[in-house]
Amino acid sequence: MATIALIANKKSVPKEFNRVAKSYDFATQMSQGYQDDLDCSAQRMQLNGNEKLLDLCCGTGKSTLACLKFLPNGTIVGVDNSEGMLEVASEKFAQEVSQEKIAFVLNDAMSLDFPDNSFDAVFMAYGLRNMPDYQKAIQGIYRILKPGGKICIHDYSLADNFFSKIYWVILGYGFIVPFCTLMSGSSRIYTYLVKSVLTFLNPTEIKLLLEQNGFEKVSAEPHASWRSPILHSIIAVKKA
C-alpha cells in the first residue's frame, strides 16, 4: 500500500530518498555498470566542454561526476529535492564547490527557480520518471534551456515489447528490491523504483513528448549488453 501511495503521490518521493541517502552510493556501486552508463549518456551529449549544465535530480552526485568529465571548462548546477542526497553530494564535491565549479541547490524540478534561457545543457538521470506531470516537467526544462541547448534524459525506459517488461520484473523483484533493501535497510523506495518503471513512458513516447514541446533532433539510444531493453539515453535539442 505504501508503494502504491508513492506512485499516486510522487511529491513524497524525495522524503523516501532522504531515508536511503547515506547508503545509496554503496547500493548503486554493486550495480554493474551504473557509473559507466551515466558516463556513456554524458558522452552522447557531445558537449563542447565549456557549457553551463544543469544536473537535474542529481541525487548524491553520480550524474554530476559523469558530466564533470566532459566539462573541463564548464560549470554545473546540481539540483535535487532531497536534502539528504544533496548533503552527500556536497560532501563528495567539497573542493569543486569551493572552486565554484559546481553548486548544489535544493529545488523542485516541477517548478525550477531559474530565469529563462539560463543553461546550455540539462542532464536528467532517473528523474523524469519521478515527476508528477511529465509534460509540465519538460516544459520547465525547455524554458530554462538556451536556444540550441541540449537535454539528455537517462532513465529506465522499457523497450516497447513484452519481453522487456518481463525482464524488468524478474530483475527488479529478483535482485534490485532484495539486494538494495539489504544494503539500505529500506525496501519502500526500491519497490517504488520497480513499479514506477513499469508505468513509465517507453523511449518512443519520451521522444514524442519532447518533440511536442519544442525539441528537435531527438534520438533514443539503448545502453549496452543486458541493459539494452531497459535503459536508454534520450537526447534532444531546443529549437534555435
pLDDT at 11 over 90: no
pLDDT at position 168: 96
When the pLDDT of each residue in the chain is averaged and rounded to a whole number, the result is: 91
The parent domain of residue 197 ranges over: 2-238
Distance CA 39, CA 35 (A): 6
Cα-to-chain-centroid distance, residue 64: 10
pLDDT at position 48: 98
pLDDT in tens, 159-185: 999 999 999 999 999 988 888 778 777
pLDDT at position 177: 87
Q: What is the mean pLDDT of residues 79-90?
A: 95
The least confident of 40-44, 134-138, 149-153, 178-182 is: 178-182
Q: What is the pTM of this model?
A: 0.91
pLDDT at 70 over 70: yes
Percent of the chain residues topping a pLDDT of 90: 77
More confident residue, 177 or 214: 214
The least confident of 42-56, 72-86, 117-131, 182-196 is: 182-196
Burial class (CB in 10 A: 0-12, 13-18, 19+), 186: middle
- ∠ CA 54-158-16 to the nearest 5 degrees? 55
If you write DSSP's letter for every residue of 20-32 in order, what string do you get?
HHHHHHHHHHTST
Distance CA 230, CA 197 (A): 9
Domain count for the chain:
1
Q: Which domain CATH number covers 149?
A: 3.40.50.150
The sign of the dihedral angle between the CA atoms of 220, 58, 66, 31 is: negative
The least confident of 1-15, 42-56, 155-169 is: 1-15
Q: What is the mean pLDDT of residues 2-16?
A: 60
Q: Using an 8 Å Cβ cutoff, are 22 and 84 in contact?
A: yes
Q: Using an 8 Å Cβ cutoff, are 165 and 198 in contact?
A: yes
